[in-house]
Amino acid sequence: MLRASSEAIGVDADLGATIGNDVSEVGVPAGAELIALTEAAVCGEAVDDARAAVVAAVGGDGAGLAVATIAAFSGLVRVADGIGIPVDDGLAASSASIRRDLDLDSFGGAANTDLDGVGGPDGFDFADSR
């Protein structure tokens, strides 16, 4: 969603920053603070400090929206992983390049999808990436 939403508003976001890479140049206003809050909320560490930094950067209303978004996505991921929802062939194919660039298939939830033989529009075959 970050890729699509940043493209829609003409922002060049560094998606690599969302998986632990350098967050200093995320390309999103208050991006470093938002990523720190997301990681704190998911990992349960220093949430108060991270939330205070987001409030300082985007205000209370913006922080509230950020926390709601973090909670919603965290819940969706947990449900999907818990019941083993696979990625369908269409999404697997259309997300081939970003999945490769961010090494998303190394995450535990990728085990829910049989990616063997599912290729992307650029000819990338997931079976070859493991």
- Which pLDDT does position 78 carry in this prediction? 81
Domain residue extents for the chain = 1-85, 86-123
| pLDDT tens digits, one per residue of 71-80 | 998 888 788 7
129 vs 3: which has the higher pLDDT = 3
| pLDDT tens digits, one per residue of 87-97 | 778 877 887 88
- Which pLDDT does position 58 carry in this prediction? 96
- SS3 for the chain, per residue? CHHHHHHHCCCCCCHHHHHCCCCCCCCCCCHHHHHHHHHHHHHCCCHHHHHHHHHHHHHHHHHHHHHHHHHHHHHHHHHHHHHCCCCCHHHHHHCHHHHHHCCHHHCHHHHHCCCCCCECCCCCEHHHHC
- Which pLDDT does position 126 carry in this prediction? 46
| pLDDT tens digits, one per residue of 18-58 | 666 565 666 778 888 988 898 899 888 889 999 999 999 99
| pLDDT tens digits, one per residue of 107-129 | 777 766 666 655 444 444 445 54
- Which pLDDT does position 68 carry in this prediction? 94
- Which pLDDT does position 124 carry in this prediction? 45
